[in-house]
Amino acid sequence: MQANHFIQKHTLERAKNIVENAPNWADVYLLPMDEYTFIAIHPTETDDFISISELKLFIESVDYLNEWYSGKIDDAYDHVERMHGMLKLKPQFPNLYDRIQLVEGHIANYVSIFGDGHE
């Protein structure tokens, strides 16, 4: 199962619990057996396991947007738009392009879980 679909179905709190309790050696969480293992495979929609690193990525995205934008996706979109404008006016700003990519990645992960609120 993909991480965003797992969070949709089982909640962000359950995903955080799985990640926080994962042993260092574990790569995936086996859903039907409620246990961890260390097989390195990419999960698909129909698999009965979830990648721990993928869960971490989506949790980080949600936490990032909650911390920086109070979970308001429209504020994140507006900030990205303003950063694009700054980049056009002042292309010499160091790391601005990297910042834009970071925020856009977090937005994409967030939207894949919760939608963008414009439905």
Stretch 6-18: mean pLDDT: 96
Residues 76-118 have pLDDT tens digits of: 999 999 999 988 887 777 788 899 999 999 999 999 999 876 4
Q: Are 30 and 37 in contact (CB under 8 A)?
A: yes
Give pLDDT, residue 118: 44
Give pLDDT, residue 44: 60
Confidence of residue 119 (pLDDT cuts 50, 70, 90): very low
Stretch 5-21: mean pLDDT: 96
Residues 16-73 have pLDDT tens digits of: 999 999 999 999 998 888 888 887 666 565 568 889 999 999 999 999 999 999 988 9
Give pLDDT, residue 46: 59
Give pLDDT, residue 13: 97
